[in-house]
Amino acid sequence: MAIHIRHADESPHEASEINVTPFIDVMLVLLVIFMVTAPLTTVNVPVDLPSSTEKPTPRPDAPVFLTVKADHNLALGEDDITMDGLAAALETASRGNKNERVFLRADRTVDYGTLMGVMDRLRAAGYLKVALVNLQGREEGHAPAAAMVPSDIVSAP
pLDDT tens for each residue of 64-81: 888 888 888 888 888 888
Q: What is the mean pLDDT of residues 101-108?
A: 85
Determine whether domain 43-155 maps to CATH 3.30.420.270.
yes
Strands (E), the chain: 51-52, 64-68, 74-76, 79-81, 102-106, 129-136, 148-155
Span of 66-70, 87-91, 139-143 with lowest mean pLDDT:
139-143
State the pLDDT at residue 156: 43
